[in-house]
């Protein structure tokens, strides 16, 4: 236990020690069994983000979508099989919008070559989310990610709609969804800042924000109407940048956009609907560097949700299939 606490002290803040230690997670978990594990994952993420920054946004989102359903156990990676034809990756919140699977595959191949049957896919997702955050923030979001997760064997598309808040969520439902996973109201506001990167399908906001009365700025609404069909369909549902100011930078521009009513989703705009969350938004917009530190802490906290240990999980040989 003492060694675990000591390692956890290397994490973002002392406040995280108990959360990570009690879940059995440790910073430097693979230092003896697979010393190059984190470097190998980082190399694959770096290569992918350099080629397409949007993939980095996808990897951050993947960690969120994995952890909120069945815990941080790589259940989001499982492919459909005859025994399980509808896994999480086919759920509406993930299909077809979630991306980055090929990066996880490449990272898993690299660590399997170096250290067979040692590094879990769940840890690879967590490392990839951390590394993408670091790269897209130009090193401003920097933190150690504790590891020691096992991979889960259960994955159901139906659970994605149960646990993942949607783009039309109001503040109450957002807070409830996060609270169910042990995350605070501040975590809601801080993690929403990930919407400073990535793209969103027109179907996620057209009806709620463009076809109905909303607070969206006229200039943004005009731009979006040029980019989106009035009635998006499966065959005609383009994507647009969530942050038109700095679309490839993980930064606090999201909060400035929010105050200017230049955000796409109802779940973003709703953060201004209560005095306490609106105050947090203003603080994150105002103080340079403050949000990045909070985001780092929240990522570590989120990465400890529902961790599988012992007989509850395994280390998959392929991230797409249970052993």
**Residues in contact with 308: Cβ distance below 8 Å, sequence separation at least 6, in sequence order:** 71, 73, 122, 149, 150, 151, 152
CATH (residue range 27-164): 1.10.520.10
- pLDDT at residue 278, as a whole number: 98
DSSP 241: E
- pLDDT at residue 115, as a whole number: 98
- As a whole number, mean pLDDT of residues 237-254 equals 95
Task: Indicate the pTM of the whole model.
Answer: 0.92
Is 22's pLDDT higher than 90?
Answer: no
Is 6's pLDDT higher than 80?
Answer: no
| Domain residue spans of the chain | 27-164, 171-301
Known binding residues for Ca(2+) are 66, 69, 71, 73, 75, 88, 243, 251
Confirm if 13 and 298 have CB atoms less than 8 A apart: no
Q: How many CB atoms are closer than 10 A to CB 153? A: 17
Catalytic residue set = 65
Summarize pLDDT for 212-229 with one digit per residue, the tens.
Answer: 889 999 999 999 999 999
Summarize pLDDT for 42-94 with one digit per residue, the tens.
Answer: 999 999 999 999 999 999 999 999 999 999 999 999 999 999 999 999 999 99
- As a whole number, mean pLDDT of residues 289-314 equals 96
Confirm if 290 and 284 have CB atoms less than 8 A apart: yes
Summarize pLDDT for 135-169 with one digit per residue, the tens.
Answer: 999 999 999 999 999 999 999 999 999 999 999 99
Known binding residues are 66, 69, 71, 73, 75, 88, 165, 195, 243, 251
Known binding residues for substrate are 165
Residue of 5, 190, 161, 171 lying closest to 94 (CA atoms): 161
Q: Which of 13-27, 88-102, 114-128, 255-269 has the lowest mean pLDDT?
A: 13-27
Q: d(Cα 207, Cα 213) in Å, to the nearest integer?
A: 10
pLDDT band of residue 18 (cuts 50, 70, 90) is very low
Is 10's pLDDT higher than 90?
Answer: no
The yes or no reply on domain 171-301 and CATH 3.40.630.190 is no
How long, in residues, is the chain? 323
**Tokens 């009513």 — which residue?**
261
3-state secondary structure of 240: strand
3-state secondary structure of 243: coil
- pLDDT at residue 212, as a whole number: 87
Summarize pLDDT for 80-134 with one digit per residue, the tens.
Answer: 999 999 999 999 999 999 999 999 999 999 999 999 999 999 999 999 999 999 9
Confirm if 67 and 183 have CB atoms less than 8 A apart: no
- pLDDT at residue 264, as a whole number: 97
Q: How many CB atoms are closer than 10 A to CB 285? A: 19
Residue 153 vs residues 121, 127, 135, 146, 181: alpha-carbon distances, Å: 12, 20, 31, 22, 20
- Mean pLDDT (the chain, rounded): 93
- pLDDT at residue 25, as a whole number: 96
């Amino acid at each position: 236990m003492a060694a675990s606490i000591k390692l956890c002290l290397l994490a973002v803040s002392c406040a995280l020690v108990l959360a990570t230690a009690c879940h059995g997670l440790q910073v430097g978990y693979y230092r003896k069994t697979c010393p190059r594990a984190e470097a190998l994952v980082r190399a694959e993420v770096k290569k992918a983000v350099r080629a397409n920054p949007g993939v980095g946004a996808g990897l951050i989102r993947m960690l969120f979508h994995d952890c909120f359903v069945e815990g941080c156990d790589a259940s989001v990676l499982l492919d459909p099989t005859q025994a399980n034809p509808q896994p999480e990756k086919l759920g509406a919140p993930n299909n077809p919008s979630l991306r980055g699977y090929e990066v996880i595959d490449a990272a898993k191949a690299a660590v399997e070559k170096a250290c067979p049957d040692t590094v879990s896919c769940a840890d690879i997702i967590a490392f990839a989310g951390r590394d993408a955050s670091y790269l897209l923030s130009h090193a401003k979001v920097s933190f150690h990610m504790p590891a020691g997760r096992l991979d889960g064997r259960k994955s159901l598309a139906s659970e994605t709609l149960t646990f993942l808040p949607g783009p039309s969520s109001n503040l109450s439902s957002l807070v409830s969804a996060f609270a169910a996973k042990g995350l605070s109201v501040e975590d809601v506001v801080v993690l929403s800042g990930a919407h400073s990167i990535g793209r969103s399908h027109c179907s996620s906001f057209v009806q709620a924000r463009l076809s109905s009365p909303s607070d969206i700025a006229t200039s943004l609404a005009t731009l979006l109407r040029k980019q989106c069909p009035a009635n998006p369909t499966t065959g005609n549902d383009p994507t647009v940048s969530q942050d038109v100011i700095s679309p490839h930078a993980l930064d606090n521009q999201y909060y400035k956009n929010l105050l200017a009513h230049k955000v796409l989703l109802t779940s973003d705009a709703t953060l201004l609907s209560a005095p306490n969350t609106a105050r947090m938004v203003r603080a994150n917009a105002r103080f340079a560097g403050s949000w990045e530190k909070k985001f780092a802490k929240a990522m570590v906290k989120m990465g400890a949700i529902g961790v599988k240990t012992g007989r509850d999980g395994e280390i998959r040989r392929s991230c797409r299939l249970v052993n």
